[in-house]
């Protein structure tokens, strides 16, 4: 399998270790809300891991902690053995909303990412070529001079994906990157992500609530329990050979079995919570 | 399908035209009514001919405009030179205020501690009428021209400052997360992310400040100016020429409208989605 091939090689630049982290927030009015219970896991260099969980389970908080945008209350995150204390260019992020700067064109947005830290090993011409290369990878070379406001939602998110890949970070963190898109565009972009992730030996951590997205893209799926104090309740290895093709995948009985299992795990979590916390809600279902 | 959409389009155009016509008729009626009431109130008013009638004001407007370009220093200036003097003071005071307030606003908007430290001072000084600063200006600057500019500066400063700070607070927090994950330098973060994202707030501040400064300049010039719209109003009052003051009110209003509309055009330059 791909991840084993890569992780057996010498480079461990993109390995992530999450060690005993917890996170909570003080709510207005004083009550403390424990979002994440104790969470530990490791992601090997070059592995594609998906964190899936019911809404409100703290998936995005977990990803923000890995990205260094939030500090855990306890424990720590380690990238290639080094603690992550602040956001870093080695941890690229694709945000839930596209987060393109509206006053820059698609290409300028990618170039901004390449130049933002003020130092670059590349010449201006090389950066230009790199930006164009990644815009071409997401089929947006023709739209490179358009502003985000002139692009559709799917195109905007593709620019966001091109920007994150162009950074050439060891790790790419994807926070529900396709969550805000319509079903057809999402389907199309999932296909592109499969292609890109299989052609790039980087570590990917994806947060999603789509079971099909998780099964299509991942080597491993971590299932969070329903919050508060969410923990990893299950870990599933997704055994399908790469390159993956959605059609063949969806026809295999193993896929259906995994899908059913995953949905089961996700809904069981929320139902238990609902039964425990607000028994009246059952009548409405 | 084409015909129905064309029909819908035509109906839309017709509706808009009908609306404009109705609004225009309404405007003419209201305007005539105001002139009529004005006429009724001022004719036969036993005040020794002081009250401005519509006809006398119109007469005076023609006179003022026909002598608009007279230039006989030290005392005889056409209205154009009064207007230019006011606009010049406005421009200098306003630009100085913008140059001071925008960078300060960006600093205070991005530095919570500094903001909270200075906020009580800003909040106390903000509601003070800029004219209250006029004697302070005269005492310290000992120059009427500089004092008028100082008053305009004080009138604009707080409005631009507060709107800039507010603009920084309204910057999409995800832009800041993006800048962090890209390890953006201070300069890139400030000038390529925060400043462009704050521009809508800054333009709102500039627009409000310019309107306020234009309100204030007339009052300030009544006291300190040797030329300017305020001086014109004051001189004409001393000459008991109330018709001229109606003329001045119309000119000040029209120029204020033009100033406001021209700075509002800046809003169009900024893409926000």
Could you report the per-residue pLDDT of B216-232, keeping only the tens digit for each?
999 999 888 778 899 88
Distance in angstroms (rounded) separating the CA atoms of residues A203 and B270: 38
- Burial label, A169 (beta-carbon count in 10 A; 0-12, 13-18, 19+): buried
Residue A233 lies in a domain: yes
Model pLDDT, residue A276: 47
Residue with tokens 């970070």: A169
Q: Does B270 touch chain A (CB under 8 A)?
A: yes
Task: Check CB contact of B183 with chain A, cutoff 8 Å.
Answer: yes
B175 and A97 in contact by Cβ < 8 A?
no
Q: A176 lies in a domain?
A: no
Indicate yes or no: CB of A99 within 8 angstroms of CB of B273.
no
Contacts of A99 in chain B (CB under 8 A): 172, 174-175, 177-178
Q: How many Cβ pairs closer than 8 A exist between chain A and B?
A: 69
| Residues paired with residue A24 on neighbouring β-strands, in sequence order | A34
* Measured distance CA(B106)–CA(B61) in Å, rounded: 46
The pLDDT assigned to B2 comes to 55
Tokens for A150?
């002139």
Residue numbers in A near B184 (CB within 8 A): 116-117
Mark yes or no for CB contact B182/A167 under 8 Å. Answer: yes
Cα B59 to Cα B53: distance, rounded to the nearest angstrom: 10
pLDDT of residue B272: 64
Q: What is the pLDDT of residue A269?
A: 56
CATH number of the domain to which A232 belongs: 3.40.50.300
**Residue B178, min C-alpha distance to chain A (Å):** 7
Is A274 domain-assigned?
A: yes
Residue A6 located in a structural domain: yes
Contact B273 A103 (CB under 8 A): no
Candidates 2.130.10.10, 1.10.3720.10, 3.40.50.1980, 1.10.357.10; correct CATH number of B66-269?
1.10.3720.10
pLDDT of amino acid A48: 94
The shortest CB-CB distance from A103 to any of B172, B185, B271 is to B271
B187 in contact with A, Cβ within 8 Å: yes
- Answer yes or no: are the C-beta atoms of A135 and A109 closer than 8 Å: no
In a domain, A228, yes or no: yes
Residue A69 gets which letter from DSSP? S
The rounded distance, in Å, linking the Cα atoms of B210 and B259 is 8
Burial of A76 (0-12, 13-18, 19+ CB in 10 A): middle
Residue (of A97, A91, A89, A206) closest to A160 by Cα position: A97
Closest Cβ opposite residue B196 in set A103, A118, A167: A103
**Statement: residue B11 has pLDDT above 70:** yes
Question: Which residue ranges make up each domain of chain B?
Answer: 2-42, 66-269
Q: How many distinct structural domains can be found in chain A?
A: 1
* Measured CA distances, B5 to B9, B13, B17, B226, B259 (Å): 6, 12, 18, 63, 40
For residue B106, pLDDT beyond 80:
yes
Alpha-carbon distance B256 to A148, whole Å? 36
Q: Which of B268, B266, B100, B106 is nearest to B191 (CA)?
A: B106
For residue A88, which residues of chain B lie inside 8 Å, CB to CB?
A: 181, 183
Q: Does any CB of chain A come closer than 8 Å to the CB of residue B267?
A: no
In chain A, residues with a C-beta closer than 8 Å to the C-beta of B192 are 101, 112, 116
Query: Helix, strand or coil for residue A232?
Result: strand
**Rounded to an integer, what is the distance from CA B172 to the centroid of its chain?**
29
CB contact (8 A) between residue A99 and residue B174: yes
- Whether residue B94 is predicted with pLDDT greater than 90 in this model: the reply is yes
Residue A206 · residue A179 · CB < 8 Å = no
Contact between A54 and A5 under an 8 Å Cβ cutoff? The reply is no
CB contact under 8 A, B271 and A102: yes
Q: Report residues of chain A scoring pLDDT below 50.
A: 1-11, 274, 276-285
Distance CA A16, CA B142 (A): 69
Which residues does B213 contact at the CB level (< 8 Å), separation at least 6? B90, B93, B94, B97, B152, B155, B156
Set of chain B residues whose Cβ sits within 8 Å of the Cβ of A176: none
Q: Do residue B188 and residue A147 have CB atoms under 8 angstroms apart?
A: no
Could you tell me which residues are beta bridge partners of residue A234? Answer: A223
Please give the residue of chain B at the shortest CA–CA distance from A114: B182
- Residue B3 pLDDT: 66
Residue numbers in B near A87 (CB within 8 A)? 177, 180-181, 183
For A222, the domain range is 2-89+203-284
pLDDT in tens, B24-42: 999 999 999 999 998 888 8
Q: Cβ(A20)–Cβ(A37) under 8 Å?
A: no
Which pLDDT score, from 0 to 100, does residue B243 have?
86
Strand A32-43 vs strand A48-52: parallel, antiparallel, or unpaired?
unpaired
For B84, the 3-state DSSP assignment is helix
Mean pLDDT of B117-122: 94
The pLDDT tens digits of the residues spanning B169-189 come to 999 999 999 999 999 999 999
Within-domain flag for A177:
no
Residue B183 Cα, gap to closest chain A Cα (Å):
5
CB-closest option in B174, B187, B272 to A97:
B174
> In this structure, are residues A230 and A51 in contact, taking their beta carbons and an 8 Å threshold?
no
Rounded (5°) CA angle A44-A261-A39: 40
Q: Does residue B102 carry a pLDDT above 90?
A: yes
In a domain, A28, yes or no: yes
Q: Contacts from A65-72 at CB under 8 Å and sequence distance 24+?
A: A65/A21, A65/A23, A65/A36, A66/A16, A66/A18, A66/A91, A66/A173, A66/A205, A67/A91, A67/A93, A67/A173, A67/B181, A68/B180, A68/B181, A69/A93, A69/B177, A69/B180, A69/B181, A70/A23, A72/A21, A72/A22, A72/A23, A72/A36
For residue B72, the model assigns a pLDDT of 74
- From chain A, the residues in CB contact with B183 under 8 A are 87-89, 116-117
pLDDT given at position A279: 41
Angle at B158 between CA B152 and CA B159, to 5 degrees: 90
């Amino acid at each position: 399998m791909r991840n084993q091939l890569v992780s057996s090689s010498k480079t461990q630049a993109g390995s992530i270790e999450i060690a005993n982290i917890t996170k909570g927030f003080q709510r207005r009015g004083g009550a403390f809300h424990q979002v994440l219970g104790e969470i530990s896991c490791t992601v090997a260099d070059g592995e594609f891991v998906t964190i899936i969980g019911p809404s409100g389970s703290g998936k995005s908080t977990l990803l923000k902690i890995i990205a260094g945008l939030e500090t855990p209350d306890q424990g720590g995150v380690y990238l290639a053995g080094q603690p992550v204390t602040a956001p870093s260019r080695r941890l690229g992020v694709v945000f839930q909303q596209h987060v393109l700067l509206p006053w820059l064109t698609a290409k300028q947005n990618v170039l901004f990412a390449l130049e933002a830290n003020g130092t670059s090993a590349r010449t201006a011409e090389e950066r230009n070529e790199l930006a164009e290369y990644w815009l071409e990878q997401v089929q947006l070379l023709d739209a490179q001079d358009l502003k985000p406001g002139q692009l559709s939602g799917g195109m905007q998110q593709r620019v966001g994906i091109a920007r994150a890949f162009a950074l050439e970070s060891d790790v790419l963190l994807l926070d529900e990157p396709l969550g805000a898109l319509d079903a057809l565009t999402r389907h199309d972009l999932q296909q592109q992500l499969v292609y890109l992730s299989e052609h790039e030996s980087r570590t990917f951590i994806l947060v999603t609530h789509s079971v099909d997205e998780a099964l299509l893209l991942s080597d491993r799926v971590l299932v969070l329990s329903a919050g508060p104090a969410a923990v990893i309740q299950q870990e599933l290895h997704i055994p399908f050979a790469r390159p993956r093709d959605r059609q063949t995948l969806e026809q295999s009985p193993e896929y259906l079995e995994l899908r059913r299992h995953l949905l089961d795990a996700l809904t069981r979590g929320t139902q238990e919570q609902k039964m425990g916390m607000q028994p009246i809600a059952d009548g409405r279902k | 399908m084409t015909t129905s959409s064309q029909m819908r389009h035509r109906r839309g155009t017709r509706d808009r035209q009908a609306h404009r016509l109705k609004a225009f008729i309404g405007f003419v009626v209201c305007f005539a009514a105001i002139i009529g009431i004005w006429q009724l109130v001022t004719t036969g008013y036993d005040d020794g001919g002081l009250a401005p009638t519509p006809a006398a004001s119109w007469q005076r407007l023609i006179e003022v405009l026909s002598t608009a370009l007279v230039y006989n220093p030290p005392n005889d200036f056409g209205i154009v030179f009064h207007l230019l003097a006011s606009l010049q003071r406005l421009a200098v005071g306003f630009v100085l205020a913008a140059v001071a307030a925008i960078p300060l606003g960006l600093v205070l908007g991005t530095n919570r501690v500094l903001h909270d430290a200075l906020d009580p001072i800003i909040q106390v000084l903000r509601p003070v009428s800029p004219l209250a600063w006029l004697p302070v200006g005269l005492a310290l600057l000992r120059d009427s021209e500089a004092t008028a500019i100082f008053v305009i500066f004080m009138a604009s400063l707080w409005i631009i400052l507060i709107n800039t700070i507010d603009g920084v607070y309204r910057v999409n927090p995800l832009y800041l997360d993006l800048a962090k994950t890209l390890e953006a330098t201070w300069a890139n973060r400030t000038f390529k992310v925060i400043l462009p994202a704050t521009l809508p707030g800054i333009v709102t501040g500039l627009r409000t400040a310019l309107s306020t400064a234009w309100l204030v300049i007339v009052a300030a010039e009544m006291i300190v100016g040797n030329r300017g719209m305020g001086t014109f109003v004051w001189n004409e009052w001393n000459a008991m020429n109330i018709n001229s003051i109606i003329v001045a009110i119309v000119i000040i209003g029209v120029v204020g409208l033009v100033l406001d509309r021209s700075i509002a055009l800046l809003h169009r330059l900024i893409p926000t989605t």
